[in-house]
């Protein structure tokens, strides 16, 4: 049997644990203070404690060793001081809420029943013998997440420990006081979750370690899969679980893994800001985060403009020309596919024989080495060599040729003009060099100065040659659409070619061309695969095309990946029929975890959105009651600003702090912002927004991915506005951002998606 302790006894234990924390804090402050003085003293007297003697070679070696030893001592003390600071932050967090769970576990055979308390970090007693709190990531803590009272087991590094859980208890502790305590079964429970989920939305995502569910725990503790695919319905906690997974991996492999070995692709800068507090809350450093657009930009020439995915989305949602839209969609469909990757690979193979475009190498607008000469030399090399290897040989040849040109240029008139502009120090340097050779020969001094001028003029050219800038990658890519025919020829190839050539002529890459071009450029110039990243996490993975996913795998061949997303929220569905989260596309050694329970929204909102969810996927609502979604019909669009204002006032009276007006497009968002900004304090969010604040917000749906709000207002839920099947995922995504309240406003007919839901699941005003 478990310990049947009362709330009073549990509070006594909390008090004792906080006493221990206070003692440890005092000891650490003392240690930190002494260490800080020691570091300051070391810095002040650094050179006094170093033996400096440069008279003899042996003395120089001794001096270097002395400096190195002193520097290492200083670095070690500074590192230790940093560790103390980190430990103090953890203790401070524990003081507010030391733990959130307890299990009483009897290990078999013949062990005593032991109470195990679980919190965000481990804490040992003064004697450093017994754990007062176990870190939620410790192997034994998995019992809390995975089993109800009864038979249970957990895995250690060496073996499996079996036993019996006789008690499972949850706590809500705030400022050292127990606010709630209840015993529970397998789910981390309804009462604790209801308390956590009933709160208002926050400007940053919170740690969920107290409420991790069994399926989420499988995601967090997965150590062996090279590819982990998480398909989770809206609000199922998949992003939170993956952030806890990152914290778990950093804890579990702390000797061999650090935050620099992990990378997260997030959907937009706003989302990156939203999740930035989770890992520091758990005592871990934030890992690198980037959006896929920025990742691509690093490998594409700066003078090329790249369309963002949001600009692509905006175009497809607002284009009024049906023929132009059809051409663009065909372009997106082809260039998102693996078929297009095959076309590129065939084209790259053909470039081994002919077709690679080069640039002239010039100085002062005069051609030094023509592009024809470079091409001739390149194609004179053995064509069994890979293109990057041949370019390496071309670069060596060019550098030799440039040395010859450098000598020729030295005696030209323009050089003397540049000599006269040199700094005084340059003349002095030339004078001293001349003195060492022949102090009476002044022509030698001029020769030295001329050589220096020419060397400086040629330096940037040589640097560009080493970077293979003599290859005209963009022109070579453009020629794919002018002078090369794929076999078989894809549908609509002629119009796609015309559209692409027009864009490239202005040094512009559409979003669907950005990844293929980056892939193509890497194959020509030689891409180094990224070996430093050991784990890559891709959020909103359903919005990546098969080509983008293939390129990522190509760029990170030795990296374990975690893909997470929701096929129901695939807002770029027009680009490709294939989805990286689809089971039939994942054909390598992988584990797939599906999360079907939605925790974000009230039961009423989930029951409503289930009615028109794409693909009719199973979605289970969490038992948290609220109001039914509301549909407001207006007779005239001129009434819209007043209707929105009245709805916001009503929501604010219910103490909702974060109210989002979610539009279909940026265009709609800008127009509505203009109508509302003089009546209410509203903030417009766009793709360059880097921070998320409480208040009344207006934004397009594709920027709301992964974020939640207390209340959501959809300002135009009419059939005129959401009238395509491809709009289903957009409308579903907008509705599922709401935690507590959903309001839809429509003039004329309701959109068909609302009509698919049962009339019992919403109120019509």
Q: Is 238 annotated as a binding residue?
A: yes
Q: From its phi and psi, is residue 459 left (phi > 0), alpha (psi between -120 and 50) or beta? A: alpha
Cis peptide before 109 (omega within 30 of 0): yes
Helices 728-735/603-610 angle, 10° precision: 170
Q: Is 234 annotated as a binding residue?
A: yes
Q: Is 237 annotated as a binding residue?
A: yes
Q: Are strands 597-598 and 361-363 parallel, antiparallel or unpaired?
A: unpaired
Contact 682, 660 (CB under 8 A): no
Q: Is 233 annotated as a binding residue?
A: yes
Q: Is 355 annotated as a binding residue?
A: no
The two three-digit tokens of residue 561, written as one number: 């990946």
Q: What is the separation of C-alpha 254 from the centre of its chain, rounded to a whole number of angstroms?
A: 21
Q: Which long-range contacts (CB under 8 A, 24 or more apart) does 686-692 make?
A: 687/268, 687/269, 687/308, 687/310, 688/269, 689/269, 689/270, 690/269, 690/270, 690/272, 690/273, 691/203, 691/270, 691/273, 692/203, 692/204, 692/270, 692/273, 692/274
Rounded to a whole number of angstroms, the CA Rg of the chain reads: 33
Q: From its phi and psi, is residue 471 left (phi > 0), alpha (psi between -120 and 50) or beta? A: beta
Please identify which residue in the block is written with the tokens 């001029």: 446
Helices 666-676/640-653 angle, 10° precision: 80
Tell me how far apart the alpha carbons of residues 334 and 734 are, in angstroms, rounded to a whole number.
28
DSSP 8-state class, residue 265: E
Q: Is 8 annotated as a binding residue?
A: no
The two three-digit tokens of residue 528, written as one number: 């180094």
- Exposed, middle or buried: residue 554 (CB in 10 Å: 0-12, 13-18, 19+)? middle
The two three-digit tokens of residue 38, written as one number: 């020691």
**Helix, coil or strand: residue 285:** coil
Measuring CA to CA, which residue among 238, 195, 190, 233 is closest to residue 215? 238
Contact 256, 227 (CB under 8 A): no
The two three-digit tokens of residue 370, written as one number: 């023509």
Q: Is 759 annotated as a binding residue?
A: no
The separation between the first and the last C-alpha atoms of the chain, rounded to the nearest angstrom, is: 56
Measuring CA to CA, which residue among 165, 214, 162 is closest to residue 188? 214
| Binding annotation for ATP | 232-239
Binding residues: 232-239
């Amino acid at each position: 049997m478990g310990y049947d302790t009362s709330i009073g006894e549990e509070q006594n234990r909390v008090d004792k644990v906080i006493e221990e924390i206070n003692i440890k804090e005092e000891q650490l402050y003392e240690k930190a203070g002494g260490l800080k003085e020691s570091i300051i003293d070391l810095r002040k007297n650094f050179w006094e404690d170093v033996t400096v003697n440069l008279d003899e070679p042996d003395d120089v070696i001794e001096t270097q060793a002395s400096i190195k030893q002193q520097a290492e001592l200083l670095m070690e003390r500074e590192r230790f001081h940093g560790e103390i600071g980190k430990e103090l932050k953890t203790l401070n967090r524990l003081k507010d809420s030391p733990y959130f769970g307890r299990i009483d576990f009897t290990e078999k055979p013949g062990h005593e029943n032991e109470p195990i308390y679980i919190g965000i970090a481990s804490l040992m007693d003064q004697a450093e013998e017994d754990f007062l709190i176990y870190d939620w990531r410790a192997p034994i803590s998995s019992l809390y997440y995975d089993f109800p009272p009864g038979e249970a087991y957990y895995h250690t590094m060496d073996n499996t420990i079996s036993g019996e859980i006789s008690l499972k208890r949850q706590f809500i502790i705030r400022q050292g006081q127990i606010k709630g305590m209840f015993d529970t079964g397998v789910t981390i429970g309804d009462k604790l979750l209801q308390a956590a989920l009933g709160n208002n939305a926050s400007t940053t995502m919170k740690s969920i370690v107290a409420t991790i569910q069994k399926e989420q725990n499988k995601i967090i503790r997965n150590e062996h899969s090279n590819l982990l695919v998480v398909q989770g319905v809206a609000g199922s906690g998949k992003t939170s679980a993956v952030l806890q997974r990152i914290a778990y991996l950093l804890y579990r492999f702390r000797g061999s893994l650090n935050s620099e070995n992990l990378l997260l692709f997030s959907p937009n800068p706003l989302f990156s800001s939203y999740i930035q507090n989770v890992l520091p809350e758990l005592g871990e450093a934030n890992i690198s985060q980037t959006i896929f657009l920025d990742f691509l930009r690093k490998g594409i020439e700066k003078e090329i403009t790249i369309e963002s995915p949001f600009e692509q989305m905006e175009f497809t949602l607002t284009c009024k020309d049906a023929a132009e839209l059809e051409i663009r969609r065909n372009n997106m469909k082809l260039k998102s596919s693996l078929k297009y990757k095959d076309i590129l690979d065939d084209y790259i193979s053909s470039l081994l024989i002919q077709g690679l475009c080069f640039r002239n190498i010039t100085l002062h607008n005069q051609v030094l080495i023509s592009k024809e000469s470079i091409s001739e030399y390149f194609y004179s090399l053995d064509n069994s060599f890979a293109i990057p290897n041949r370019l390496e040989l071309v670069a060596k040849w060019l550098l030799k040729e440039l040395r010859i040109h450098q000598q020729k240029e030295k005696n030209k008139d323009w050089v003397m003009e540049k000599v006269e502009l040199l700094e005084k120090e340059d003349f002095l340097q030339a004078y001293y060099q001349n003195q060492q050779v022949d102090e009476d020969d002044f022509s030698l001094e001029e020769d030295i100065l001329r050589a220096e001028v020419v060397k400086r003029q040629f330096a940037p050219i040589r640097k560009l040659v080493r970077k293979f800038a003599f290859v005209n990658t963009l022109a070579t890519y453009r020629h794919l659409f002018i002078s090369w025919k794929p076999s078989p020829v894809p549908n609509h190839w002629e119009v796609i070619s015309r559209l692409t050539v027009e864009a490239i002529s202005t040094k512009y890459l559409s979003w669907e061309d950005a990844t293929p071009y980056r892939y193509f450029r890497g194959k020509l110039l030689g891409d180094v695969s990224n070996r430093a990243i050991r784990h890559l996490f891709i959020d909103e993975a359903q919005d990546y095309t098969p080509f983008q996913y293939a390129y990522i795998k190509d760029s990170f061949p030795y990296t374990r990946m975690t893909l997470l997303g929701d096929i129901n929220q695939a807002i770029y569905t027009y680009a490709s029929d294939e989805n990286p989260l689809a089971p039939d596309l994942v054909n390598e050694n992988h584990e797939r975890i599906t999360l079907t329970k939605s925790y974000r929204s009230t039961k009423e909102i989930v029951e409503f959105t289930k009615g028109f969810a794409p693909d009719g996927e199973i979605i289970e609502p969490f038992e948290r009651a609220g109001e039914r979604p509301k549909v407001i019909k207006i007779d005239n669009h001129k009434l819209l600003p007043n209707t929105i204002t009245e709805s916001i006032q009503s929501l604010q009276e219910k103490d909702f702090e974060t109210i989002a007006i979610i539009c279909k497009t940026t265009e709609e968002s800008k127009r509505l912002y203009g109508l509302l900004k003089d009546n209410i304090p509203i903030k417009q969010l766009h793709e360059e927004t880097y921070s998320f604040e409480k208040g009344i917000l207006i934004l397009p749906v594709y920027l709301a991915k992964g974020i939640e709000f207390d209340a959501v207002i959809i300002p135009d839920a009419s059939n005129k506005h959401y009238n395509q099947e491809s709009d289903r995922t957009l409308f579903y995504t907008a509705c599922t951002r709401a935690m507590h309240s959903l309001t839809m406003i429509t003039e004329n007919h309701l959109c068909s998606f609302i009509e698919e839901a049962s009339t019992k699941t919403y109120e019509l005003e």
